[in-house]
Structure 1
């Protein structure tokens, strides 16, 4: 009867047998990594500098000396213009303005009934300004139908041309206000003269009386 003996490797032999392929694998990985990580020599290029100095600081222009002219400039004789004969100053005569009071205005509405519509002359409490014509005053219809008499004091201003503005009437009855304001508004006045120039004036007063015949 034959007995076969089986050889069982020792523990150290098994470790050595397993290290051989691991060492070969590790060496192979190192070789592969060495090829991948190979660093080639890098050549650095010198930076290129552009000349921009001429753009920042322009070249100074050449200063040329100005040569003075050797010959003097001769100015020709100036021809004097002929003298004009002096014109005689014209004589202008201004007639003085006639500021004399005008006649009382005649009524235009029912003269037989109205009688006098009294605007006692062009009376203005400041003598520098006077009306150019008498006021054209109409007796109000409502006052006539009621047999009313009254009086008004019209206060106003005039501009340099003599046009009245800011007209206010203080009347004994309101029925006379509208007609009194209209009469002054449609008239024109001679403004006062200061140093030969007409100027406006404020606070002028014109009284008007409304009277019926007895």
Structure 2
């Protein structure tokens, strides 16, 4: 389905994720498209060129979050170079302690110009001023996206940064499973999104 849409749109199909570009590629192989990775820190154009929009996460911040992962069994630090993700899905009871530890290090985080956001059983760490919205905005300046109106779907709290900028791009947004400000439509589940995409691929979409 995605391959057919990618071809029908002349390559104007992109994945937008908190994952790294390499992780996105592993998920969707053999399909390789334009993409926004690491919460907007890196983008890959339709021509395959990769651009970093910020510097890597500082070692001091990385070391702090690694110490948390080491201290709480069941947690895991995912190092994506330009962002970090501290997963605690297997240790949900650790969340209050993790939140308290992060709060106690606000001076370090502010000095290193990084921000922390909570997701689905994860604490995301990224550079100040960089988010999925800035990544999408940068991608929309490049062909084959230039001059098009983006259609974006998301289900995570960090996707709100894209919904927020859609009006300036003349775009449209839909959420999945819950309502988001800026989303014009809400799909009940990922299954419904997959069916909608399959219908688009079957009907053909205007490039």
TM-score, reference length from structure 1? 0.21
Q: Of the two, which has the highest radius of gyration?
A: 1
Structure with greater helix percent: 2
TM-score, reference length from structure 2? 0.21
